[in-house]
Chain A
Amino acid sequence: MIRDTRYRVPVNPFEEYEFENTEEKIEFDDFHLWYGDNHVLKDIDLEIRENMITAFMGPSGCGKSSLLRAINRMNDLIPECRYKGEIEIDDVDINDPETDVYELRKKVGMVFQKPNPFPMSIYDNVAYGPRIHSMGQRSALDDIVERSLSEAALWDEVYDRLDDSAMSLSGGQQQRLCIARALAVEPEIILLDEPCSALDPIATMKIEGLMRRLEEKYTVILVTHNLQQAARVSDMTAFMYLGEIIEFDRTRNIFENPREELTENYITGKFG
């Protein structure tokens, strides 16, 4: 059941493993986040590497979604939200006031819990981002749409009805369309916020298979409260509890040999 990862080794601070051909992509340094007076994320230090799937796992309210949304600064949309500390992507602090948040969100794609395609045609959904960012005219746009839908494993199912409304697709197809829409702007990082929680098991299986293909090209971060999903697809897992990262390690270690009692209790179903 548990996947044998290519990477023998997890990242900082677990240096007893050696790193194999992976590069640092995102680094959290002493990151804190508040909603009003509620201290949601406490002292987050975390390193996320390229071309692997990192899962944020933990019970509801542990802050895993807030942590994910810090990476593309979607928390900025919440008026009472404050944060401090650094988040570096490719060694550039994204919380710097000079950062172009629109460029950041182009670089960091996001897929949400509930499939949320726009009420437009399938084609227009995928072309939405490229049009916003003026990434090309007709024929170029056609290519982007085909490439994105293929990457999201949806092209074969929709190539002959691109002008149909996205609302006519099934839930699983809609979620893959949302992935295609995110891929269309050529991001480097893909954030997946419980992408399967509204889907049936078959659709979930397809999305999980897709995630494994995506990690070859992108840095994939997955939020899930589904233990099996974290175990099945992720390379690295961060276990979070009450706004803190309790343990961050290779997924196999987290599930087979957790070092913290809290992690073990969660894995074995004593709470959560």
Chain B
Amino acid sequence: MMDKISTEKSVFAFFKLLTWGVVSVVAVLLLFIFSKGLPVLTLDFLTSPPENGMLGGGISIAILGTLMVMGLTIVFAIPLGIGSAIFLAEYTDKVDPRIIRMVRLAINNLAGVPSIVYGLLGLGLFVLFLNLRFSVLSASLTLSFLTLPVIIAASEESLRNVPGAYREASLALGATRWETVRNVVLPSALPGIMTACILGLSRASGETAPLLMTGAAYYLPRFSGNIFRQFMALSTHIFFMSTQSPNPDITRPIQYGTIVVLLIIVLTMNMTAILVRSYYRRKHR
């Protein structure tokens, strides 16, 4: 029979093993990708369009396309998401709680809906019904819908974590509810909201399926800069290069290079989220 101390030790060792197992898988993966991809990253690769019938050249058009789609997604998703979160967290006491509970349930479930379903929604609603066609606009609206549940849920959480005592103090001074939200609640919740937005958007920036269905092109000779036109994106470029290319072996360096660029964008956003959080945490304590 094992005594308590050795049980404790073996349980601890087991969890430690699990943790390091996960970490090392990720580390190996990143190491592999970066070792293959970093050598490809030259200024030329980042700034030139595809050449030789997509067998050579760079990924400038895909980089610009991803940045443009994400930029437009930010414009749609952040105001809508924060606005909804403010309503749900601050203004619902006069609404039937059952309705609010249903809205919240819907939002939490929407966060778990597979992205391909959002792609279908975008195809049906934006591309066909609203006749926005395959375009940056359709794709951005679709990605906004995809990130909204995440942004709303996390922002609401962050607003709810603001102590009720702040609201009381502000209202007792004769402030209206909006003045209270704007001057006290939002500033306190801002680090959490910003973190939520950045993480939501960084997840969206790697999405592939919704873009395929709403406007990503296999090849464009130049970057149009027009939100009503099709675009190339990093995530779809990786997909096309590895599955649709006439010769996937020749394009392998391009695939690794594109993955590295996408990863750098995503990791930078996540790092920014962490820095924002720790900056505000230090500032407020």
List A residues at the B interface (Cβ < 8 Å).
Answer: 72, 74, 77, 79, 102-106, 109-110, 112, 114, 116-120, 128-129, 132-133, 165, 167, 178, 181-182, 185
Determine which residue in A114, A118, A133 has the highest number of CB atoms from chain B within 10 A of its CB, and name it: A118
Give chain A residues whose Cβ lies under 8 Å from the Cβ of B171. Answer: 74, 77, 105
Of the candidates B166, B168, B173, the one whose C-beta lies within 8 Å of that of A106 is B173
Whether B176 lies near A102 (C-beta < 8 A) is: yes
Task: Collect the chain A residues with CB atoms within 8 Å of residue B187's CB.
Answer: 119-120
Contact with A along B161-179 (1 / 0, CB 8 A): 0010110111111111001
New A-B pairs, 18, CB < 8 Å, besides A72-B172, A128-B170, A165-B284: A79-B93, A102-B175, A103-B174, A104-B174, A105-B171, A106-B173, A112-B169, A112-B172, A116-B163, A116-B168, A118-B169, A128-B173, A129-B174, A129-B175, A132-B173, A132-B174, A167-B284, A182-B172
Q: Give A230 to B125 CA distance when docked, in angstroms.
A: 67
Query: How distant is B251 from chain A, measured CB to nearest CB, in Å?
Result: 53
B285 at the interface (CB under 8 A from A): yes
| Contact A116–B94 (Cβ < 8 Å) | no
Partner of B174, one of A114, A117, A185: A185
- Residues of A within 8 Å of B94, CB to CB, are 79
List the A residue with the shortest CB-CB distance to B184.
A118
For residue B165, which residue of chain A has the nearest CB?
A116
Chain B contacts with A in 137-176, Cβ cutoff 8 A: 163, 165-166, 168-176
CA–CA, A118 to B169, complex, Å?
A: 8
CB neighbours (8 Å) of A181 from chain B are 169, 173
Most buried by A among B166, B168, B171, B183: B171
Residue of A nearest to B94 (CB): A79
Q: How far is the CA of A128 from the CA of B183 in the complex (A)?
A: 9
The answer to whether A182 touches B173 (Cβ under 8 A) is yes
- Please give, as numbers and ranges, the residues of chain B lying within 8 Å of A165 by CB-CB distance: 284
- B-side interface residues toward A, CB under 8 Å? 93-94, 163, 165-166, 168-176, 179, 183-184, 187-188, 284-285
- The CB with the most chain A CB atoms within 10 A, among B170, B172, B173, B179, is that of B172
Contacts of B168 in A (CB 8 A): 74, 77, 112, 116
A-B contact pairs, 9 of them (CB 8 A): A74-B172, A79-B93, A106-B174, A116-B165, A116-B166, A128-B170, A129-B174, A167-B284, A181-B173
**In the complex, what distance in Å separates the CA atom of A103 from the CA atom of B207?**
51
Contact among A79, A104, A167, A178 with B169 in the assembled complex (CB-CB below 8 Å): A178
Interface centre among B93, B170, B174, B175 (most CB of A within 10 A): B174
